[in-house]
Every structure is written in C-alpha cells, then in structure tokens.
C-alpha cells in the first residue's frame, strides 16, 4: 500500500488568503489538528492548531503572519509505513501528499491510517492472538509457520519487536482459529515459550462493533 492509495481530497487545503478563523473552523469541521497551506498547486507547509492559539486577531489572513509552519509531507510513491513513521514521530493528525515535483495531491488523515492499521494487522478478523518470547538468535519464523500450518492454522499477521529491557524478542501472531490448544502444545514441543494468548471466543463481534463505531466517530 502506497501513499497514493490512502490520500483523500475531501479535506480542502488552506490558502494564504484564508483567515485564521477559516483555519480554526476547517480544523473543527474535519476533526484534525493540522492543515496544509497551498499556493496554486505548491505545498507551502503544514499549520497546526497550536500555531493559532496565541494569535490576537483571527480575522487576519494566514499570509500576513509569521507562523511556525512545518514542512512535512510524503511523496505519493512512498510506502504506507513511511506515513505511519511520520505521523508517529511528529504527532500529526494529517500528512500532505505531493508528487515528484512537490505539487500537492491531497492528504492522508490519522483516521485513515487507523483504518489501514486495522486491516494490516487483521485486528478485526476472527481468530486468536499469541505472543512468543524468544532470545534474539533462537527462533525461526519459517519453523513457527510450519508448526502452525501443520495444524491447519494460518497466520493472518505477524510482528516481531525487541524487548526493551533484554536481548529477547516478542513475536506477536494473529491466527485464523479461535481454538488453538493443539497449536500451543505443538509450539511447546519445539521449545517455544508462549507468554500471552487470547482465544477470541465471542470476542470478535464486540471488537468489530467497537472498531466500526470508532471509525464512524472519526468520519462524522
């Protein structure tokens, strides 16, 4: 998935002729704390709600003020992971997207990335979650996959991250089965230590309902 697949054009960018009040109103309408400022098709920067807080006169145009504009953007060909990285690092609610000539194409909102994250991790799919704890050099993703697949269990998503306080890694898997006692026994036979399991019996419908309610709230 690339930035061009995630952008939206329904959030209109600001112009330098727009007033501060225009900026505040638009942020409230679209439930974002950031908006791009565009001149013709050129991206001038990204303004945040904190840039507007201490301004004395909201009738002034944006172009007349020295605002702390951030020049943050992603190219349309960049991967969605780059968007996640920018949103996380800079605490953004919106990321402008530009083409190779740095012409403004549209924006990617935080709620769109939350939606994509749910798809990417199979968070709303029925099944189970398990976390395997292992030393850095003592696990094999291919072996874990073979163990699970030999029990007719499919991996829907997989994530590996290092434990901050040790040389261990945590391997988080989302599986397509709710009952995984046979899979847990098989992993134990191969000396894999499962530190967490969540077998989603009756949990999926509630989780999906909450996820859909949250997405509806963001899109109001």
Does 102 score more than 50 pLDDT? yes
Q: CA-CA distance, 206 to 209, in Å (whole number)?
A: 5
Tokens of 35: 């908006």
For 106, phi and psi rounded to 5 degrees? 160, -165
Q: Which residues contact 33 (CB under 8 A, 6 or more apart)?
A: 27, 48, 49, 50, 93, 94
Tally of domains within the chain: 2
| 113 lies in the same domain as 177 | no
84 confidence band (pLDDT: 50, 70, 90): very high
Q: Among 32-41, 156-165, 211-220, name the one with the lowest average pLDDT.
A: 211-220
Which of these three, 69, 84, 118, is where a domain ends? 118
Task: State the residue range of the domain holding 111.
Answer: 3-118
Closest to 113 measured CA to CA, from 144, 70, 79, 147: 79
Asked if residue 213 belongs to a domain, the reply is no
| 109 lies in the same domain as 195 | no
| 132 lies in the same domain as 174 | yes
Q: Among 76-85, 141-150, 191-200, name the one with the lowest average pLDDT.
A: 191-200
Asked if residue 218 belongs to a domain, the reply is no
The model's pLDDT over 45-79, given as tens digits with 9 standing for 90+, comes to 899 998 888 788 899 898 887 766 788 999 999 99
| 52 lies in the same domain as 30 | yes
pLDDT at 203: 46
């Amino acid at each position: 998935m690339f930035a061009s697949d995630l952008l939206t054009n329904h959030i209109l960018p600001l112009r330098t002729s727009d007033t501060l009040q225009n900026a505040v109103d638009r942020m409230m309408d679209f439930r974002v704390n950031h908006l791009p400022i565009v001149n013709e098709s050129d991206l001038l920067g990204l303004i945040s709600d904190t840039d507007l807080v201490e301004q004395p006169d909201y009738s002034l145009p944006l172009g007349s003020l020295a605002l702390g504009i951030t020049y943050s953007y992603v190219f349309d060909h960049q991967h969605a992971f780059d968007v996640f990285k920018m949103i996380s690092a800079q605490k953004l609610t919106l990321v402008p997207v530009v083409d190779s000539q740095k012409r403004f194409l549209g924006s990617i909102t935080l709620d769109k990335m939350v939606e994509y994250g749910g798809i990417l991790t199979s968070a709303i799919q029925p099944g189970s979650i398990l976390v395997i704890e292992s030393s850095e050099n003592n696990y094999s993703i291919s072996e874990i996959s073979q163990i699970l697949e030999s029990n007719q269990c499919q991996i829907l998503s997989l994530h590996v991250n290092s434990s901050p306080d040790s040389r261990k890694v945590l391997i988080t898997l989302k599986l397509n089965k709710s009952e995984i006692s046979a899979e847990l026994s098989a992993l134990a036979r191969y000396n894999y230590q499962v530190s967490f399991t969540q077998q989603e019996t009756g949990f999926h419908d509630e989780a999906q309902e909450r996820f859909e309610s949250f997405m509806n709230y963001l899109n109001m």
